[in-house]
Amino acid sequence: MVKLILNGCNGKMGKVVTSCLSDFENIVLVAGIDKNDSKCSYPVFSSIEDCNVTADVILDFSRKEALKSILKYSRSKKMALVLCTTGYSNEDIDLINEYSNYIPIFRSANMSIGINVVNNILKNIAPFLYENFDIEIIEKHHNQKVDSPSGTALLLAHTIQESIKDSTELTYGREGNKKRDPNEIGMHAIRGGNIVGDHDVIFAGSGEVIEINHKAISRDVFAVGALRACEFISNKYKGLYNMDDMINL
């Protein structure tokens, strides 16, 4: 049985994770961390430092500002960590990499199995299409999302960049009078309503257009992927893991 602490338990995704737990017989939620007080079936602490409950894994669906405290706590308790928060800086990522030398850490910009299948497809087709196709990425999210472009859009863009031998640049939106440079990968963000998450990767060529779309119609897909990651990481050795590791396994 995997004992789980949920950081951000009273947020939107935290509540979805709690509701999806009934489908995971091998996971028990033993504690939550959240500044917002709310009645839960498990003890909730206002900060990670106050938590005195023994567990195997911390699942983080909070804000990037909580990263340092979560890393320190996980290392001190020798607990595995699943990071689902986005918007990390390069300094944050360096810190995550450093702590992975001491504890097992699972990090993904998107916990959906589907989006990570799309990401693997892009690794294979982008090198072949790049020479004759312009690449544009459009992402759409709800009006409360704070980071832009989305972590998922950056994940897809970086995967494309890493698979192409030529040097490319990410262009964030466009304005003014200038033709598109061949080495650009366009990045466009839309915020509105309660859109859960919609990502389009467009390969526009001469006489044909290829579009790959992933649409999340429910936050459940992210919760289920995160809980699967908790099962996956619970018995792993120190190191940095991602969705590719879980999918390939």
Please tell me whether 108 is known to bind a ligand.
yes
Please tell me whether 158 is known to bind a ligand.
no
Please tell me whether 54 is known to bind a ligand.
no
Please tell me whether 34 is known to bind a ligand.
yes
Please tell me whether 1 is known to bind a ligand.
no
Please tell me whether 168 is known to bind a ligand.
no
Please tell me whether 11 is known to bind a ligand.
yes
Residues facing residue 9 across a β-bridge: none
- Catalytic position from the list 140, 141, 188, 214: 141
Please tell me whether 109 is known to bind a ligand.
yes
- Catalytic position from the list 3, 64, 145, 236: 145
**Mutual orientation of helices 220-233 and 113-129 as an angle, nearest 10°?**
90
CB 82 within 8 A of CB 58: yes
CB 105 within 8 A of CB 99: yes
Phi, psi of 118 (to 5 degrees): -60, -45
Annotated catalytic, 141? yes
Please tell me whether 230 is known to bind a ligand.
no
User: At a CB cut-off of 8 Å and minimum separation 6, what does 5 contact?
Assistant: 29, 30, 31, 32, 33, 51, 53, 55, 57, 58, 59, 79
Please tell me whether 56 is known to bind a ligand.
no
Please tell me whether 86 is known to bind a ligand.
yes
Annotated catalytic, 188? no
Residues facing residue 204 across a β-bridge: 134, 209
Cite the annotated binding site for NADP(+) by residue number: 35
Cite the annotated binding site for NAD(+) by residue number: 8-13, 34, 84-86, 108-111
Cite the annotated binding site for (S)-2,3,4,5-tetrahydrodipicolinate by residue number: 142, 151-152
User: Which sequence positions are flagged as catalytic?
Assistant: 141, 145
Cite the annotated binding site by residue number: 8-13, 34-35, 84-86, 108-111, 142, 151-152
